[in-house]
Amino acid sequence: MANIDPRAKVYLERINQLPPLHKLEPQAVRDIFAQIPAVEVELAPLAKVEDKLIPAGADAEINIRMYTPEGQGPFPLFVYYHGGGWVIGDLETVDASCRMLAHLSGRIVVSVDYRLAPEHKFPVPVADSYAALKWVSENASSINGSASDLVVGGDSAGGNLSTVLSLLAKDQNGPAIKAQVLIYPVTDMRFDSPSYMEFQEGFGLNRDLMLWFSNHYINHEYDKGNPYVAPLSARDLSNLPPAIVITAECDVLRDEGIAYAERLKNAGVKVEAVCEKGLVHGYFTNMAVFPEQIKATISRITEFLHTIDQIVTK
Protein backbone atom coordinates (compact mmCIF):
# COMPACT_ATOMS: atom_id res chain seq x y z
CA MET A 1 0.00 0.00 0.00
CA ALA A 2 1.18 3.52 -0.76
CA ASN A 3 2.54 5.67 2.05
CA ILE A 4 -0.33 7.90 3.09
CA ASP A 5 0.22 11.54 4.00
CA PRO A 6 -0.26 12.28 7.76
CA ARG A 7 -2.90 14.90 6.96
CA ALA A 8 -4.75 12.39 4.81
CA LYS A 9 -4.84 10.01 7.79
CA VAL A 10 -6.49 12.72 9.91
CA TYR A 11 -8.97 13.44 7.13
CA LEU A 12 -9.85 9.75 6.69
CA GLU A 13 -10.37 9.28 10.41
CA ARG A 14 -13.14 11.88 10.23
CA ILE A 15 -14.65 10.63 6.98
CA ASN A 16 -14.69 7.01 8.14
CA GLN A 17 -16.82 7.97 11.14
CA LEU A 18 -19.73 8.70 8.81
CA PRO A 19 -22.39 6.02 8.31
CA PRO A 20 -22.19 3.90 5.13
CA LEU A 21 -23.33 6.56 2.66
CA HIS A 22 -24.09 4.10 -0.13
CA LYS A 23 -26.89 2.64 2.00
CA LEU A 24 -28.69 5.98 2.33
CA GLU A 25 -30.96 8.03 0.12
CA PRO A 26 -29.33 10.99 -1.68
CA GLN A 27 -31.07 13.66 0.39
CA ALA A 28 -29.99 11.96 3.60
CA VAL A 29 -26.38 12.08 2.41
CA ARG A 30 -26.72 15.76 1.52
CA ASP A 31 -28.17 16.43 4.96
CA ILE A 32 -25.25 14.67 6.67
CA PHE A 33 -22.69 16.85 4.89
CA ALA A 34 -24.77 19.99 5.46
CA GLN A 35 -24.75 19.30 9.22
CA ILE A 36 -20.97 18.97 9.48
CA PRO A 37 -19.80 22.14 11.28
CA ALA A 38 -17.96 24.53 9.02
CA VAL A 39 -14.29 25.00 9.87
CA GLU A 40 -13.03 28.55 9.62
CA VAL A 41 -10.20 28.84 7.11
CA GLU A 42 -8.18 31.73 5.77
CA LEU A 43 -9.75 32.95 2.54
CA ALA A 44 -7.63 34.23 -0.32
CA PRO A 45 -8.00 37.98 -1.03
CA LEU A 46 -10.05 38.88 -4.09
CA ALA A 47 -11.47 42.00 -5.68
CA LYS A 48 -15.03 40.68 -5.88
CA VAL A 49 -17.22 37.61 -5.37
CA GLU A 50 -20.65 37.65 -7.01
CA ASP A 51 -23.49 35.12 -7.32
CA LYS A 52 -25.74 35.14 -10.37
CA LEU A 53 -28.61 33.15 -11.86
CA ILE A 54 -28.17 32.22 -15.51
CA PRO A 55 -30.44 30.35 -17.94
CA ALA A 56 -29.98 26.62 -18.44
CA GLY A 57 -32.26 25.66 -21.27
CA ALA A 58 -35.72 26.99 -21.95
CA ASP A 59 -37.25 26.36 -18.53
CA ALA A 60 -34.50 26.37 -15.92
CA GLU A 61 -31.93 28.56 -14.22
CA ILE A 62 -28.79 27.64 -12.34
CA ASN A 63 -26.51 29.53 -9.99
CA ILE A 64 -22.95 30.53 -10.73
CA ARG A 65 -20.44 32.22 -8.44
CA MET A 66 -17.81 34.50 -9.97
CA TYR A 67 -14.49 35.11 -8.23
CA THR A 68 -12.63 38.13 -9.61
CA PRO A 69 -8.95 38.55 -8.67
CA GLU A 70 -7.33 41.86 -7.88
CA GLY A 71 -6.09 43.79 -10.90
CA GLN A 72 -7.36 45.60 -13.96
CA GLY A 73 -8.53 42.95 -16.40
CA PRO A 74 -9.87 41.83 -18.73
CA PHE A 75 -8.98 38.58 -17.01
CA PRO A 76 -8.57 35.08 -18.41
CA LEU A 77 -11.42 32.77 -17.39
CA PHE A 78 -11.68 29.47 -15.54
CA VAL A 79 -15.07 27.72 -15.48
CA TYR A 80 -15.05 25.34 -12.51
CA TYR A 81 -17.32 22.33 -11.87
CA HIS A 82 -17.56 20.89 -8.36
CA GLY A 83 -17.35 17.24 -7.42
CA GLY A 84 -19.76 15.09 -5.44
CA GLY A 85 -20.59 12.21 -7.75
CA TRP A 86 -23.19 14.31 -9.62
CA VAL A 87 -25.41 13.75 -6.53
CA ILE A 88 -24.01 15.98 -3.78
CA GLY A 89 -21.92 19.15 -3.65
CA ASP A 90 -22.62 22.80 -4.39
CA LEU A 91 -20.97 26.20 -4.63
CA GLU A 92 -20.06 26.17 -0.93
CA THR A 93 -18.24 22.84 -1.25
CA VAL A 94 -15.55 24.39 -3.41
CA ASP A 95 -15.72 28.01 -2.25
CA ALA A 96 -12.36 28.27 -0.46
CA SER A 97 -10.53 26.37 -3.20
CA CYS A 98 -12.07 28.50 -5.96
CA ARG A 99 -11.09 31.66 -4.08
CA MET A 100 -7.50 30.49 -3.88
CA LEU A 101 -7.57 29.37 -7.51
CA ALA A 102 -8.69 32.83 -8.64
CA HIS A 103 -6.13 34.55 -6.41
CA LEU A 104 -3.12 32.46 -7.43
CA SER A 105 -3.97 32.00 -11.12
CA GLY A 106 -5.09 35.56 -11.81
CA ARG A 107 -8.18 34.23 -13.55
CA ILE A 108 -11.85 34.95 -12.99
CA VAL A 109 -13.15 31.64 -11.68
CA VAL A 110 -16.79 30.91 -12.46
CA SER A 111 -18.09 28.10 -10.24
CA VAL A 112 -21.15 26.32 -11.64
CA ASP A 113 -24.02 24.94 -9.54
CA TYR A 114 -25.35 22.43 -12.07
CA ARG A 115 -28.49 20.49 -11.14
CA LEU A 116 -27.91 17.21 -9.33
CA ALA A 117 -28.97 13.61 -9.81
CA PRO A 118 -31.08 11.60 -9.18
CA GLU A 119 -33.63 14.41 -9.46
CA HIS A 120 -31.80 15.47 -12.64
CA LYS A 121 -30.06 12.48 -14.17
CA PHE A 122 -27.72 12.40 -17.14
CA PRO A 123 -27.67 14.33 -19.41
CA VAL A 124 -29.03 17.25 -17.35
CA PRO A 125 -25.79 17.98 -15.43
CA VAL A 126 -23.90 17.92 -18.74
CA ALA A 127 -26.45 20.22 -20.38
CA ASP A 128 -26.35 22.64 -17.45
CA SER A 129 -22.56 22.65 -17.49
CA TYR A 130 -22.46 23.30 -21.23
CA ALA A 131 -25.04 26.10 -20.87
CA ALA A 132 -22.84 27.73 -18.24
CA LEU A 133 -19.76 27.40 -20.47
CA LYS A 134 -21.59 29.07 -23.35
CA TRP A 135 -22.93 31.81 -21.07
CA VAL A 136 -19.45 32.62 -19.79
CA SER A 137 -18.04 32.67 -23.32
CA GLU A 138 -20.83 34.86 -24.67
CA ASN A 139 -20.86 37.24 -21.69
CA ALA A 140 -17.14 37.38 -20.98
CA SER A 141 -16.77 41.10 -21.60
CA SER A 142 -19.63 41.94 -19.21
CA ILE A 143 -17.77 40.24 -16.34
CA ASN A 144 -14.40 41.75 -17.30
CA GLY A 145 -13.20 38.46 -18.76
CA SER A 146 -11.55 37.37 -22.00
CA ALA A 147 -13.47 34.78 -24.02
CA SER A 148 -10.31 34.01 -26.00
CA ASP A 149 -8.64 32.61 -22.87
CA LEU A 150 -11.17 30.22 -21.36
CA VAL A 151 -10.24 27.14 -19.31
CA VAL A 152 -12.53 24.43 -17.91
CA GLY A 153 -11.76 22.33 -14.86
CA GLY A 154 -13.10 20.57 -11.84
CA ASP A 155 -12.65 17.84 -9.28
CA SER A 156 -13.99 14.27 -9.38
CA ALA A 157 -17.44 14.41 -11.03
CA GLY A 158 -16.57 17.99 -11.93
CA GLY A 159 -13.42 16.68 -13.58
CA ASN A 160 -15.62 14.28 -15.48
CA LEU A 161 -17.86 17.12 -16.63
CA SER A 162 -14.79 19.07 -17.75
CA THR A 163 -13.61 16.17 -19.92
CA VAL A 164 -17.10 15.81 -21.33
CA LEU A 165 -17.41 19.52 -22.10
CA SER A 166 -14.10 19.41 -23.93
CA LEU A 167 -15.49 16.59 -26.08
CA LEU A 168 -18.84 18.32 -26.49
CA ALA A 169 -17.31 21.67 -27.43
CA LYS A 170 -15.26 19.91 -30.11
CA ASP A 171 -18.35 18.13 -31.41
CA GLN A 172 -20.47 21.31 -31.33
CA ASN A 173 -17.74 23.61 -32.69
CA GLY A 174 -17.46 25.70 -29.55
CA PRO A 175 -17.06 27.46 -27.29
CA ALA A 176 -13.29 27.50 -27.69
CA ILE A 177 -11.54 25.94 -24.69
CA LYS A 178 -7.89 26.77 -24.17
CA ALA A 179 -7.13 24.01 -21.65
CA GLN A 180 -8.78 21.46 -19.37
CA VAL A 181 -7.82 21.00 -15.71
CA LEU A 182 -8.84 17.57 -14.46
CA ILE A 183 -8.48 16.90 -10.74
CA TYR A 184 -8.95 13.19 -9.94
CA PRO A 185 -11.58 12.96 -12.70
CA VAL A 186 -14.07 10.16 -13.25
CA THR A 187 -13.32 8.89 -16.76
CA ASP A 188 -14.54 5.28 -16.66
CA MET A 189 -17.55 3.33 -15.42
CA ARG A 190 -16.06 -0.15 -15.04
CA PHE A 191 -14.87 0.17 -11.42
CA ASP A 192 -12.30 -2.59 -11.89
CA SER A 193 -8.89 -0.93 -12.14
CA PRO A 194 -6.06 -1.93 -9.79
CA SER A 195 -6.55 1.29 -7.80
CA TYR A 196 -10.22 0.35 -7.34
CA MET A 197 -9.11 -2.94 -5.84
CA GLU A 198 -6.39 -1.40 -3.64
CA PHE A 199 -8.40 1.50 -2.24
CA GLN A 200 -11.94 0.17 -2.48
CA GLU A 201 -12.68 0.71 1.21
CA GLY A 202 -11.50 3.11 3.89
CA PHE A 203 -9.95 5.80 1.68
CA GLY A 204 -12.79 8.32 1.46
CA LEU A 205 -14.35 7.39 -1.87
CA ASN A 206 -15.27 3.73 -1.52
CA ARG A 207 -16.00 1.51 -4.49
CA ASP A 208 -19.54 0.92 -3.20
CA LEU A 209 -20.10 4.66 -2.95
CA MET A 210 -18.86 5.20 -6.50
CA LEU A 211 -21.30 2.54 -7.71
CA TRP A 212 -24.04 4.35 -5.75
CA PHE A 213 -23.17 7.66 -7.39
CA SER A 214 -23.15 6.19 -10.89
CA ASN A 215 -26.43 4.35 -10.40
CA HIS A 216 -28.09 7.60 -9.36
CA TYR A 217 -26.54 9.51 -12.25
CA ILE A 218 -27.23 7.33 -15.28
CA ASN A 219 -30.57 6.09 -16.60
CA HIS A 220 -29.49 2.83 -18.23
CA GLU A 221 -26.63 0.37 -18.05
CA TYR A 222 -25.65 1.22 -21.62
CA ASP A 223 -24.98 4.82 -20.53
CA LYS A 224 -21.74 3.51 -19.02
CA GLY A 225 -20.34 3.25 -22.53
CA ASN A 226 -21.41 6.76 -23.56
CA PRO A 227 -18.33 9.01 -24.01
CA TYR A 228 -20.30 11.87 -22.46
CA VAL A 229 -20.52 9.73 -19.30
CA ALA A 230 -17.26 7.79 -19.49
CA PRO A 231 -14.84 9.71 -21.73
CA LEU A 232 -12.25 6.94 -21.54
CA SER A 233 -14.61 5.00 -23.84
CA ALA A 234 -14.42 7.69 -26.56
CA ARG A 235 -12.94 6.40 -29.81
CA ASP A 236 -11.28 9.67 -30.79
CA LEU A 237 -9.60 12.01 -28.29
CA SER A 238 -7.65 13.99 -30.87
CA ASN A 239 -7.92 17.78 -31.26
CA LEU A 240 -8.94 18.29 -27.64
CA PRO A 241 -7.63 21.14 -25.47
CA PRO A 242 -4.30 20.65 -23.66
CA ALA A 243 -4.86 18.99 -20.29
CA ILE A 244 -3.32 18.76 -16.88
CA VAL A 245 -4.53 15.60 -15.14
CA ILE A 246 -3.99 15.50 -11.39
CA THR A 247 -4.60 12.26 -9.53
CA ALA A 248 -4.28 11.29 -5.87
CA GLU A 249 -2.11 8.29 -5.13
CA CYS A 250 -4.50 6.66 -2.62
CA ASP A 251 -7.72 7.03 -4.62
CA VAL A 252 -9.91 4.53 -6.46
CA LEU A 253 -9.99 6.95 -9.42
CA ARG A 254 -6.21 7.17 -9.75
CA ASP A 255 -5.71 4.64 -12.53
CA GLU A 256 -8.52 5.86 -14.78
CA GLY A 257 -7.18 9.40 -14.50
CA ILE A 258 -3.72 8.19 -15.48
CA ALA A 259 -5.22 6.09 -18.29
CA TYR A 260 -7.13 9.09 -19.64
CA ALA A 261 -3.99 11.22 -19.61
CA GLU A 262 -2.19 8.50 -21.56
CA ARG A 263 -5.04 8.27 -24.10
CA LEU A 264 -4.92 12.02 -24.62
CA LYS A 265 -1.15 11.93 -25.07
CA ASN A 266 -1.40 9.10 -27.60
CA ALA A 267 -4.01 11.17 -29.49
CA GLY A 268 -1.54 14.03 -29.85
CA VAL A 269 -2.94 16.24 -27.09
CA LYS A 270 -0.45 18.12 -24.92
CA VAL A 271 -0.77 16.58 -21.45
CA GLU A 272 0.83 16.96 -18.06
CA ALA A 273 0.04 14.13 -15.65
CA VAL A 274 0.66 14.56 -11.93
CA CYS A 275 0.07 11.97 -9.20
CA GLU A 276 0.00 13.62 -5.77
CA LYS A 277 1.85 11.22 -3.50
CA GLY A 278 0.17 10.07 -0.30
CA LEU A 279 -3.02 12.04 -0.92
CA VAL A 280 -6.60 10.81 -1.07
CA HIS A 281 -9.75 11.61 -2.99
CA GLY A 282 -11.31 14.89 -1.90
CA TYR A 283 -8.17 16.66 -0.75
CA PHE A 284 -8.50 19.57 -3.20
CA THR A 285 -11.70 20.91 -1.64
CA ASN A 286 -10.74 20.47 2.02
CA MET A 287 -8.89 23.69 2.81
CA ALA A 288 -9.03 23.09 6.57
CA VAL A 289 -6.92 19.91 6.28
CA PHE A 290 -4.89 20.34 3.09
CA PRO A 291 -4.11 24.07 2.61
CA GLU A 292 -0.50 23.56 1.56
CA GLN A 293 -1.33 20.67 -0.78
CA ILE A 294 -4.10 22.72 -2.41
CA LYS A 295 -1.71 25.65 -2.90
CA ALA A 296 0.85 23.29 -4.43
CA THR A 297 -1.74 21.83 -6.81
CA ILE A 298 -2.93 25.28 -7.88
CA SER A 299 0.69 26.30 -8.46
CA ARG A 300 1.11 23.27 -10.75
CA ILE A 301 -2.07 24.24 -12.59
CA THR A 302 -0.96 27.86 -12.95
CA GLU A 303 2.46 26.83 -14.27
CA PHE A 304 0.84 24.51 -16.78
CA LEU A 305 -1.50 27.25 -18.01
CA HIS A 306 1.48 29.57 -18.39
CA THR A 307 3.19 27.01 -20.63
CA ILE A 308 0.03 26.87 -22.75
CA ASP A 309 0.08 30.68 -22.99
CA GLN A 310 3.68 30.57 -24.20
CA ILE A 311 2.85 27.96 -26.85
CA VAL A 312 -0.14 29.98 -28.12
CA THR A 313 1.78 33.26 -28.31
CA LYS A 314 4.77 31.81 -30.20
Q: Which residues are designated catalytic? A: 156, 251, 281
Of 110, 151, 190, the residue nearest 307 (C-alpha): 151
**Residue 282: CA count within 13 A, CB half-sphere:** 21
**Residue 120: alpha-carbon gap to chain centroid:** 18
Specify whether the CB–CB gap between 100 and 299 falls below 8 A: no
CA distance 256 to 260: 6
CA distance 115 to 117: 7
**Running DSSP on this structure, what letter comes out for residue 203?**
S
- In Å, what is the CA distance from 36 to each residue of 85, 88, 111, 280, 283? 19, 14, 22, 20, 17
Of 203, 215, 292, 289, the residue nearest 253 (C-alpha): 203
Of 12, 96, 91, the residue nearest 53 (C-alpha): 91
**Residue 115: alpha-carbon gap to chain centroid:** 15
* Cα dihedral across residues 213, 215, 217, 223: positive or negative: positive
Specify whether the CB–CB gap between 195 and 201 falls below 8 A: no
CA distance 217 to 30: 15
